[in-house]
Amino acid sequence: MKTVFVTVGTTRFDELIESVTSSEVAQVLKARGYERLVLQVGNGSFVPDAASCAYLSVQAYRFKESIAEDMKQADLVISHAGAGSCLEALGAGRPLLVVVNDKLMDNHQLELARQLHMDHHLLYCTCSTLTETLKNMDLSVLQPFPPGRPEHFANFLDKALGVK
Amino acid sequence: MLVEELLAAVGWTQQASLTDAASLPVCLLCVSVGGHTTEIMRLMESLSAAYTPRHYVIADTDKMSEDKIVAFEKDRSPFTINRIPRSREVHQSWSSSVVSTLNALRYSLPLLFRLRPDMVLCNGPGTCVPLCIAGLLLGILGMKKVHIVYVESICRVQTLSLTGRILYLLSDYFFVQWCSLRDKYPKAIFLGRLV
C-alpha cells in the first residue's frame, strides 16, 4: 500500500494535521495512488482516529522510540521544517515535502529547509498551498542527499593535533 | 617557595605536549539533548581510537544524553560522564544567562583542572561556553594547552548560533558546514557537510 508518513517531530503543528486529514487533501493523495496515511502528531492538541478520513486508511500516534521504520515504509514523507525530521527523512532516502509553519516566529530551522530546497533535495510549501503542491508535485526532480563526511573532520584534526 | 606550594596545592604539574609520542589526546566532549547529541556522536564515530579517554560533559538537567553516550561508548573507549549546571535555557534573558554561565564556570574550572584534556570538542549547546573558557584559562596559566574545537551545527546555513558567535572568537579550530558561513566568517574551516 502506497503510504504517506506525516511527522512533526517534538513540536505541535495542528494546522498540518488538520490539512492532511481534510477531504480535499485526502482526495488528491488518493488520486495520486496513496492509500495509507500514518501520522506522528507530537504535542499536537488531537490525535486523529482511524475514521477521520474517508479516502485513506489512517494510523496516528504522538511519539515513538524511533520513527525509522515508519520512515522506511513511506513512499512520501510530509514533515515540519525541523532539521532532525528533514535529515532523518533524507537519510532514509525518502521523497520529502516540508510544510513550513508560517504561524511560528522566525525560526532558524528554516535556514536548513530553505537550503535543502534550493539544492533540490526536498519540496517546500505551507498549509495553504499544500493541496496544490500535492496535486502538481513531481518527485522525480528530487536529488539524492549524500551523507556527511565526518572522516574529513577526523583527518583534519589528526593532522592539526599531530595524532598518528 | 610559597608560590610552588600554592601551585602544588591546586595540583599544578608540567604536562607533556601533545606531540610527545607517549601521550594520547585526552578529549573533553560537551553534549546536549537532541540534534546536538546526534551530531557530536557522528563526529565521534570518525575519530580514531587514539582519542582516549573521553570525558563527556552534560548539563545536569539532561536525562537523555547519558543513555546515548553509554550505548555509543560501550566496548569502544574508556570514558566518563560529568555533569555541570546548564548555562542557559532557550529564550533565557541576557542578564540571567550571565549569572547562570558564571555558575556553570564554578563547576567547569575544577573539572578542567582535574581532567587536563588536550582538546575540548563541542558543537553548540550553551553548556560548552564555560568549559571552553576554563580550557583557555588552563592555557593562560601555563598549566596545559587545551585545543578548543567547535563544530557549528548543520542547521546553521546563513547565521551562526549564539554559542558559535562567542566561540568563533575563542576557539582554535572553528568548523562550519555550509560555504555561505565560510564566506561570512573567514577564520572558519569548511570541509563540506560533516554529519
Chain B CB contacts of A154 below 8 Å: 43, 46-48
Count of domains forming chain B: 1
In a domain, B5, yes or no: no
Task: Check CB contact of A109 with chain B, cutoff 8 Å.
Answer: yes
Q: Closest Cα to residue B170, out of B133, B125, B134?
A: B133
Q: Which residues of B88-105 are buried (b: 16+ CB within 10 A; e: fewer)?
A: beeeeeeeebeebbeebb
Give the pLDDT confidence of B151-161 residue by residue, as tens digits. 999 989 999 99
Task: Check CB contact of A33 with chain B, cutoff 8 Å.
Answer: no
CB count in 10 Å sphere of residue B159? 14
CA distances from B132 to A72, B63, B85, B97, B181 (A): 40, 22, 15, 16, 22
In a domain, B10, yes or no: no
Give the pLDDT confidence of B8-27 residue by residue, as tens digits. 445 444 433 343 433 456 77
Written as one letter, the residue type at B87 is S
In a domain, B19, yes or no: no
Query: Domain limits at B160?
Result: 25-190
In a domain, B195, yes or no: no
CB count in 10 Å sphere of residue A20? 25
Exposed / middle / buried, residue B150 (Cβ in 10 Å: 0-12, 13-18, 19+): buried
Chain B CB contacts of A151 below 8 Å: 46
In a domain, B63, yes or no: yes
In a domain, B157, yes or no: yes
Q: Closest Cα to residue A161, out of B84, B24, B102, B45?
A: B24
What CATH number has the domain bearing residue B95?
3.40.50.2000
pTM (two decimals)? 0.81
Give the pLDDT confidence of A124-152 residue by residue, as tens digits. 999 999 999 999 999 999 999 999 999 99
Please judge whether A84 and B119 are an interchain contact, meaning their C-beta atoms are less than 8 angstroms apart: no
Chain A CB contacts of B151 below 8 Å: 153
Region B110-135: mean pLDDT is 89
Q: Identify whether the C-beta of residue B42 lies closer than 8 Å to the C-beta of residue B195.
A: yes
In a domain, B8, yes or no: no
How distant is the alpha carbon of residue B5 from its chain centre? Answer: 30
Strands (E), chain B: 27-30, 54-59, 79-84, 119-122, 147-151, 173-176, 189-190
Task: Check CB contact of A63 with chain B, cutoff 8 Å.
Answer: no
